Amino acid sequence: MKLLSVSFITASSLFYAQSHPEDSLSTVVQTVEIIGRKSKDYTSDYSFAATKIAMKNKDLPLTLNTITKELITDRQAFQLGDVMKNVNGVSPSSYYNQYNIRGISQNEEGQIINGMRTRQYYFLQPMTSNIERVEIFKGPASITMSSVDPGVQLIW
């Protein structure tokens, strides 16, 4: 009798150890697209701040100027005012963080840092050591951002 119970336990453990194909369960893996720059260049084909997703510059309904980290480093632009010298149609309206872009004076509400609106006030000059890119939207930026200046949006 003991031999029969031991053989039954051994057979049952071998039965459960076998793998059963799970035809009813299937695994669906989500597709992930990674967009980046393979070469470090002065230009960028994508905008990350305009629509909050990576979108090609030619697909945007407004004019976009992008200044990359490589251009900032090679031009030795230490302040945001030095970076803005690389963009046509931009002139400083004071020594501080105020600009005229396309003839329209841009105030503090037109500047966004990492997706959040900022108040830079007149005495702040942001340093460029931690800025990866600066994007300047020329045109009605209220298409993508809500309450902004009518002529420009400065995102860094």
Of 71 and 38, more confident: 71
Residue 92 CA to residue 99 CA, distance in Å, equals 4
Number of Cβ atoms within 10 Å of the Cβ of 133: 18
pLDDT digits (tens, 9 = 90+) for 2-58: 555 555 555 555 555 555 555 556 788 888 877 766 667 787 877 777 667 778 888
Pair 101, 138: CB distance under 8 Å: yes
Show me where the domains of the chain are located: 40-155
CATH topology of domain 40-155: Ferric Hydroxamate Uptake Protein; Chain A, domain 1 (2.170.130)
Mean pLDDT, rounded, of the chain: 72
Residue 35 CA to residue 14 CA, distance in Å, equals 49
